[in-house]
Amino acid sequence: WRWGGRWSTSPRRRRGRSRRCRARRPRRLLERAAGQGLSLSVGAEVEYFLVNRDEHGVLSVADTKDTAAQPCYGAHGLTRMYDHLTAVSGAMNSLGWGNYANDHEDGNGQFEQNFKHADALTTADRVITLRYLVSVLAEQRDMTATFMPKPFTDRTGTGMHLHMSLWRGEEPTFLDGTDERGLGLSPLAYSFVAGIVEHARGLQAVIAPTVNSYKRTGAVSTRSGATWSPRIAGYGGNDRTHFVRVPDGNRVELRGGDGAANPYLAVAVALAAGLDGIERGLDPGEPSAGGKGPELPPTLLHAVEALQADEVISGALDAAGPGVSRYFADLKREEFFDWHATVGPWELDRYLTAF
């Protein structure tokens, strides 16, 4: 990271017109919300691994001493990466983001950066910038920062959790201290949650957009004993395996997304789902318990099929221009079959001499 440089995120324009720019996608939905007197505030948790890769392509955690079975929030791993983490924090704070926390996550070599919530487009810009910033600062210390959803089979995956709330001017609309369900949410907030839960399967194609993503949400366990990722489309209180978690009445957290997600698209489809719930007056029912609820898509192909069957989520993509959702679906279907057609080490180990 060098002082004196300039980094800009802005709509691409051609002859004065923006061409399917990713930033336009949430903007139209934000305008729709504004028509109802609502504005969206978003916070993002950005997780990543610090790794090395040798000449044979073997991946390993950059900190060779980070071997604890349950390293989450561990001080030792954090201290050994102190120079990197403080460099990231210093850069974020110099930009005025308010980096209020960074921590060692549940996987060996895994970290998270948190910064103050802002309007939806500002937060999306910051996620994109932070990925670049973290990668550059890692390279300066001979490491690779990866936001890949599941770089290690036996370790916790990398999420990108979105914390969302709707406001009327300076007044929060989600908080209701009289909520009989005990989560502190207003009827409007419950309708927002209901919309996200109803559209969860289609949402996943956008917020978990790679074949690797489904090895995170499909994980049964990890070496730490926890996955911290949802497998069903449910909601509830302070349980980090819910698709929608309610940490308090001021906000809801969408936990299905990962480090591969385009934050502009993620915000767009999440807002579209939530607004659909509000406009239709949906109710999510009682909070999920015991792992009950509709299962999330097991693969990218299943998610793409759900996306194409979901007019609300497809429509959120098409708000940028005709055919965007079809283009996205075709691209992701091709990605799935490219992966599916590739013979990998697992197959060789299992089948080479099995018959």
For the stretch 57-71, pLDDT in tens is: 999 999 999 999 999
Q: Would you tell me the crossing angle of helices 311-318 and 324-340 to the nearest 10 degrees?
A: 110
- Residue boundaries of the structural domains of the chain: 21-340
> For residue range 72-90, what is the model confidence (pLDDT) as tens digits?
999 999 999 999 999 999 9
Phi, psi dihedral angles at 244 (to 5 degrees)? -120, 115
Q: What is the percent of the chain with per-residue pLDDT over 70, rounded to a whole number?
A: 92
Burial 281-306 (b: 16+ CB within 10 A, else e): ebebeebbeeeebeebbebbbbbbbb
Task: Identify the CATH class of 21-340.
Answer: alpha beta
> Which residues are 175's β-sheet partners?
185
Identify the band that residue 221 occupies on the pLDDT scale cut at 50, 70 and 90.
confident
**Least trusted range by pLDDT, from 96-110, 178-192, 194-208, 289-303:** 289-303
CA distances for 1 relative to 94, 145, 227, angstroms? 12, 14, 33
> For residue range 135-193, what is the model confidence (pLDDT) as tens digits?
999 999 999 999 999 999 999 999 999 999 999 999 999 999 999 999 999 999 999 99
Phi, psi dihedral angles at 6 (to 5 degrees)? -135, 135
CA torsion sign, 48 to 139 to 11 to 307?
A: negative
Q: Is 207 within 8 Å of 213 (Cβ atoms)?
A: no
Identify the band that residue 223 occupies on the pLDDT scale cut at 50, 70 and 90.
confident
Q: Is 314 within 8 Å of 325 (Cβ atoms)?
A: yes
> Which residues are 232's β-sheet partners?
295
pLDDT at site 43 = 98
Provide the token pair at 99.
């980096």
> For residue range 4-19, what is the model confidence (pLDDT) as tens digits?
666 666 655 545 544 4
> Which of 247, 269, 248, 244 lies closest to 256, judged by CA?
244
DSSP structure class, residue 240:
T
Identify the band that residue 330 occupies on the pLDDT scale cut at 50, 70 and 90.
very high
pLDDT at site 17 = 47
Q: Is 298 within 8 Å of 230 (Cβ atoms)?
A: no
Provide the token pair at 331.
């691209």
Secondary structure element (H or E) that encloses residue 66, with its range: none
3-state secondary structure of 15: coil
The count of other CB atoms within 10 Å of the CB of residue 13 is 10
The angle subtended at Cα 120 by Cα 117 and Cα 122, nearest 5°, is 75
Q: Is 259 within 8 Å of 161 (Cβ atoms)?
A: no
Determine the average pLDDT of the residues in 190-202. 98
> Which of 304, 210, 198 lies closest to 244, judged by CA?
198
Q: Which residues contact 139 (CB under 8 A, 6 or more apart)?
A: 145
pLDDT at site 142 = 97
Determine the average pLDDT of the residues in 33-51. 97
| Burial environment of residue 153 by CB neighbours within 10 A (0 to 12, 13 to 18, 19 or more) | exposed
Identify the band that residue 219 occupies on the pLDDT scale cut at 50, 70 and 90.
confident
Q: Is 227 within 8 Å of 157 (Cβ atoms)?
A: yes
DSSP structure class, residue 111:
E
Half-sphere exposure of 288 (CA within 13 A, CB side): 26
Residue 113 CA to residue 100 CA, distance in Å, equals 8
Q: What is the mean pLDDT of the chain?
A: 92
Residue 297 CA to residue 158 CA, distance in Å, equals 18
Residue with tokens 């406009």: 279
